[in-house]
Amino acid sequence: MTTRRNFLKTGAGLGLGSIALPVISAHGKGDSPGTLFLTNPKAKKIIYLFVDGGLSQIDSFDPKPKMGDVMMDTRVINTKIDGVQYGHYFPQLAEHIDKYCLVRSMSTGTASHGTGVYVTHRNYRPGTANHPPIGAWVSRMLPTLNENLPKTVAIHERSQGLGSSGGFFGAKHAATTIPVAANGLPAGKQLTDVTDERAADRLKALKTLNEEFYRMNRSNFVRDHIDVLDNTLSLLRSPDFSAFDISRESDKTRERYGDSKLGRGLLLARRLVENDVRFVEVTTSGWDHHDNIMDEMKKMGPMLDRALAALITDLHVSGLLDETLVVVTTEFGRQNHVSGKAGRDHGPGGYCQILAGGGVRPGLVHGATAEDAQGVKEKKEKVSPEDFFVTMAYAMGLDYNRKYLNLDKREFAMNNEGKGRPLTSVFATT
């Protein structure tokens, strides 16, 4: 028996059903006091790079050479900023440190991957509601810049990305997911197997089915299905669809980003913001180095260094860095001791994140981890994931205290009950 769910999964031969996710509608509830607003915010778009697993601050952006054997094979190199050193796996980012802000005083209250990933993406702990990730908030609160392309895109090595959901904002504000950047948008490629006439017939039937289903149920769930379908069809027919095709880039450009999932993902992210996509998340996985961290860093460190430096450089040269906030984040750092298998265990007390563009002061280093790398050196410089989350909102001029109702009529704002304060000092103007 062909159910509506199965019919939508097949997408009438177009593979569109996976884009339509479960929905709960929401609406605005006015403003709450206490919001800090950036005067004339420059950030119009975000590239959000999530380093999944917990990037070691000791081996990347805040090494501790005085700790001797704890450093293992990681050597320190100088950056362009006097007194600031990096692990030797990141020479290009060391050279370009004058183009971004380094936050060295991150600290979180969890050492659990599940909780850490959820908090970093959604600013809440799991279990209380289906909270929207940062991309869904951007989609919900800001108008589109390009009607021919989705507001948000998630480029993940997994079939379902960490920030792909729309949360209680529903499918309309969920990200269009790209599992493999080099392949572009899979649904679009399937059109080549269907004649225009046949596709038109199937799409008409699908739309009729949706409209009839909505007439019978009058649910926001169905309405959002219809909206997602319409938006997807517009995308597949759009002249801007080529934004998803990184093969249009020169061999030289692709080489600069590197032949890796991360390199191709960041190259695609750059193409998408060039075409006015509001929010692009790229995830790089495999950074949970409990074992053999030196072997892993030798492979993965240069990959991250190469791809991220290429992205920041390209955006800087084109002038797009002024209006594009580049965020590099992870769920926590690593411990200062060496585990039994030559790795580092989870270290939530102190770690690093990066902000570039979008009005952020380039060349700024905020805070530091303690000398033992296990906490923050100065308490007043401590930055929580909640602080970092609303800092992104602040950069885009969003009211992070504005409340919305989920289906259960519960109020939620980006700023989880006022727990976060934006890091205003990292911006050039306030």
CATH number of residue 300's parent domain: 3.40.720
pLDDT value of position 340:
82
115 — pLDDT class (breaks 50, 70, 90): very high
391 — pLDDT class (breaks 50, 70, 90): very high
313 — pLDDT class (breaks 50, 70, 90): very high
Q: How far is 222 from 227, CA to CA, in rounded Å? A: 9
CB 254 within 8 A of CB 246: yes
- Mean local confidence (pLDDT), 170-181: 88
pLDDT value of position 207:
64
Mean pLDDT of the chain: 85
Q: Render 243-302 in DSSP notation, one character per residue.
A: GG-GGGS-HHHHHHH-SSHHHHHHHHHHHHHHTT-SEEEEEE-----SS-HHHHHHHHHH
Say yes or no to pLDDT of 20 above 60: no
pLDDT value of position 59:
97
The DSSP code for 17 is G
Q: And the tokens for 385?
A: 């994931």
Q: How far is 9 from 199, CA to CA, in rounded Å? A: 16
Shared domain for 8 and 41, answered yes or no, is no
Q: Is 319 left (phi over 0), alpha (psi -120 to 50) or beta?
A: left
The DSSP code for 401 is T
Shared domain for 272 and 134, answered yes or no, is yes
pLDDT value of position 407:
79
Residues near 18 by beta carbon (within 8 Å), at least 6 away in sequence: 9, 11, 177
Domain housing 280: 31-184+252-426
Global confidence as pTM: 0.85
Q: Which residue has the higher pLDDT, 277 or 184?
A: 277
pLDDT value of position 2:
36
Q: How far is 66 from 17, CA to CA, in rounded Å? A: 55
pLDDT value of position 77:
98
List, in sequence order, the alpha helices (H) in 96-250. 113-122, 134-141, 186-189, 196-217, 220-237
The DSSP code for 131 is P
Say yes or no to pLDDT of 6 above 60: no
Shared domain for 177 and 194, answered yes or no, is no
- Mean local confidence (pLDDT), 132-152: 94
64 — pLDDT class (breaks 50, 70, 90): very high
CB 305 within 8 A of CB 354: no
pLDDT value of position 25:
28
Q: How far is 364 from 63, CA to CA, in rounded Å? A: 17
Residue 308: Cβ within 10 Å count: 28
Q: Which residue has the higher pLDDT, 193 or 76?
A: 76
Say yes or no to pLDDT of 97 above 60: yes
Strands 324-330 and 351-356: antiparallel
Shared domain for 296 and 411, answered yes or no, is yes
pLDDT value of position 216:
63
195 — pLDDT class (breaks 50, 70, 90): low
Lowest mean pLDDT among 47-51, 211-215, 325-329: 211-215
Shared domain for 54 and 151, answered yes or no, is yes
Annotate 36-96 with three-state secondary structure: CCCCCCCCCEEEEEEECCCCCCCCCCCCCHHHHHHHCCCCEEECCCCCCEEECCCHHHHHC
Residue that finishes a domain, picked among 244, 266, 288: 244
Task: Note the Cα 150 to chain centre separation in Å.
Answer: 15
- Mean local confidence (pLDDT), 75-92: 97
CB 394 within 8 A of CB 400: yes
- Mean local confidence (pLDDT), 82-111: 97
How many domains, the chain? 2
Residue that finishes a domain, picked among 244, 261, 286: 244
Describe the chain by its helix, strand, coil percentages, rounded to 5: 40, 15, 45
Lowest mean pLDDT among 160-174, 191-205, 258-272: 191-205
Residue that finishes a domain, picked among 222, 244, 266: 244
Query: Which position has the token pair 């279990």?
Result: 127
User: C-alpha distances in angstroms, 348 versus 302, 325, 379?
Assistant: 24, 25, 15
Lowest mean pLDDT among 36-45, 178-187, 392-401: 178-187
> What percent of the chain has a predicted confidence (pLDDT) above 70?
78
Say yes or no to pLDDT of 76 above 50: yes
Shared domain for 73 and 119, answered yes or no, is yes
206 — pLDDT class (breaks 50, 70, 90): low
Shared domain for 261 and 346, answered yes or no, is yes
- Mean local confidence (pLDDT), 32-54: 89
Residue 83: Cβ within 10 Å count: 7
Say yes or no to pLDDT of 400 above 90: yes
Q: How far is 88 from 197, CA to CA, in rounded Å? A: 57
Shared domain for 417 and 279, answered yes or no, is yes
> What percent of the chain has a predicted confidence (pLDDT) above 90?
67
End-to-end CA, the chain: 60
Most confident of 16-25, 157-166, 230-239, 343-352: 343-352
Shared domain for 42 and 57, answered yes or no, is yes
Shared domain for 226 and 175, answered yes or no, is no
Say yes or no to pLDDT of 209 above 80: no
- Residues 356, 415, 172, CA angle at the centre, nearest 5°? 80
pLDDT value of position 420:
95
CB 399 within 8 A of CB 31: yes
- Amino acid identity of residue 196, one-letter, is D
Per-residue pLDDT tens over the stretch 402-423: 999 987 889 999 999 899 999 9
pLDDT value of position 408:
83
Shared domain for 20 and 124, answered yes or no, is no
pLDDT value of position 237:
64
pLDDT value of position 253:
97
Strand partners, 427: 360
The count of residues in the chain is: 430
pLDDT value of position 428:
86
User: C-alpha distances in angstroms, 246 versus 43, 148, 243?
Assistant: 24, 18, 8
Q: Which helix (H) or strand (E) holds 93?
A: helix 91-95
Q: Which residue has the higher pLDDT, 20 or 213?
A: 213
Say yes or no to pLDDT of 26 above 60: no
Q: Which residue has the higher pLDDT, 131 or 198?
A: 131
Q: How far is 62 from 131, CA to CA, in rounded Å? A: 32
CB 375 within 8 A of CB 349: yes
Residues near 368 by beta carbon (within 8 Å), at least 6 away in sequence: 62, 104, 105, 376, 377, 378, 381
- Mean local confidence (pLDDT), 164-170: 89
Lowest mean pLDDT among 87-91, 105-109, 189-193: 189-193
Strand partners, 365: 102
Shared domain for 15 and 72, answered yes or no, is no
